Amino acid sequence: MSGAEGLTGVSATGLDRRRVVAWRNAVFAVFLVMGIATGTWVSRMPAIRDGLDLRLDQVGILVFAVAAGSILGLLFASHLIAWLGARRTILIALLVAMVGLAIAGFGISEARNIVPAFIGFLIFGSLFSITDVAANVTGAANERALGQAVMPIFHAFFSIGTVAGSGLGVAAEWLDVSVVWHFAAVAAINIGIVLVATRSLVSEAVTFDDAAVDGEPKPRWTERLRVWRDPRTLLIGLMVLCAGLTEGVANDWIALASVDGHGFDNELASVVLVVFVTSMTVGRLAGVRLLDRFGRVPVLRASFALAFVGLGIFITAPLPVAVFGGAVLWGLGAALGFPVGMSAAADDPAIAAARVSAVATIGYLAFLGGPPVIGFLGEHFGILSALLVALVLCVLGFLLSGSAREPRATTSEVDRP
């Protein structure tokens, strides 16, 4: 039975069933838009590399712009959510992020200069990360209103969007559509979706950090900062970092690794990316039942183990069919680490925005340090050898999975005066 079907009458938030379901569907749309935007630019990485005539380490620097912007945005995310509410934060941040994507496309295809491309990706990354935190915060609040695990499905919609965005990227490659027109068209479509979807988002009176929880006053900004001293928050953050790099390495490098490491052409390499994100989508949709049956920790450990196997096959694949097989297992294994980490970070509703922001900040360090490290190692030792870094983090993520264990109580684990 789905969360929507399980709702009767008024939810724990005081909203009726129709309002909660509309809220859930709006969150689906937000994650879908974020996925489309991500799939759009990662699917064109070979074209971006060729258009700007970049070396692998220079590609890493360009991807670093997205990660650096993400960290910058995460520094302010929880404070913006507390000030504006999740709905307005998502609306403003996503609109500006799409402008950044269009600027990046202009730098790549028209200016053919890495500087405007870097600036566009920096803007995109900073506002995208703010949207990411706000979407996870309002998604976790909706999950509580539904009374059932739904966060992996939210992230599955991100993966569905990534599949759609990557598919459009494959079509753009085959039709020889320039990056600037491709990015501009996607930005326009996403803006239209955002303007409609955000009308149904719920922010005031029910979303974490927007109102009193269990009669307690809304946490002040100094209290939100105290989550950085909580050991569980830091361990979840490290686990999410491992999961983020396991997923992010594929998004950023699997197409180029298929070209440079396995001799695929640009079009077939884009298909490998589509296979990966499709597998990750399947893993997230199936993961809800697995989480309900087995719990977070066993599922996370199995996920990291599967990602390790799939990545190992991809790196050592002697035949094209093995490349695709490795991508399938890698995608299935990478599916649940990030969304389950976000759910674990939001276990305490009173400080969920601050904790989600902290965990996301740590997790995004994978996107900050991963691209330049992989690019540097790929330039000097080969892109497939560089991916061995992700294998190590799969092992570390496996060991840290226990930090996401379901709480026995709903009270805050961070002391507040």
Residue type, 105: G
Q: What confidence score (pLDDT) does residue 222 get?
A: 58
**What is the H or E stretch that residue 13 is in?**
none
Distance CA 54, CA 377 (A): 15
| Burial of 292 from C-beta contacts in 10 A (0-12 / 13-18 / 19+) | exposed
The interaxial angle of helices 352-381 and 337-345, nearest 10 deg, is 150
- For residue 350, what pLDDT is reported? 67
pLDDT attached to residue 53: 85
Q: Which amino acid is at 349?
A: P
Query: How far apart, in Å, are the Cα atoms of 218 and each of 82, 224, 228?
Result: 9, 10, 18
Do residues 244 and 415 make contact, with C-beta atoms less than 8 angstroms apart?
Answer: no
Domain ranges of the chain: 15-404
DSSP three-state, residue 197: helix
Spatial separation of the C-alpha atoms in residues 247 and 162, rounded to whole Å: 12
**Per-residue pLDDT at 214:** 41
State residue 216 phi and psi, 5-degree precision. Answer: -85, 150
Cβ atoms of 79 and 138 within 8 Å: the answer is no
pLDDT (0 to 100) of residue 404: 92
Residue 107: what pLDDT?
93
Alpha carbon of 283 to those of 143, 152, 169, 335: distances in Å?
19, 9, 22, 5
Kindly report the number of other CB atoms within 10 A of residue 322's CB atom. Answer: 14
Closest to 335 measured CA to CA, from 251, 243, 273: 243
pLDDT (tens, 9 = 90+) of the chain, 417 residues, equals 333 333 444 444 557 778 888 999 999 999 999 999 998 998 888 888 888 888 877 887 887 888 788 888 878 887 888 788 889 999 999 999 999 999 999 999 898 899 999 999 999 999 998 998 889 888 878 887 887 778 888 988 988 898 899 889 989 988 989 999 999 999 999 999 999 999 998 864 444 444 334 444 455 555 556 778 889 899 999 999 999 899 888 877 898 899 999 999 888 988 898 899 889 889 988 888 898 889 999 999 999 999 999 999 999 998 999 999 999 999 999 999 988 998 888 787 667 767 877 887 787 777 667 767 888 888 889 999 999 999 999 999 999 999 999 877 444 444 443
Residue 267 pLDDT: 81
pLDDT of residue 14: 59
pTM of the entire predicted model? 0.73
Residue pair 18/26 in contact (Cβ under 8 Å)? The answer is: no
Question: Distance (Å, rounded) from C-alpha 64 to C-alpha 150?
Answer: 31
Give domain 15-404's CATH superfamily. Answer: MFS general substrate transporter like domains (1.20.1250.20)
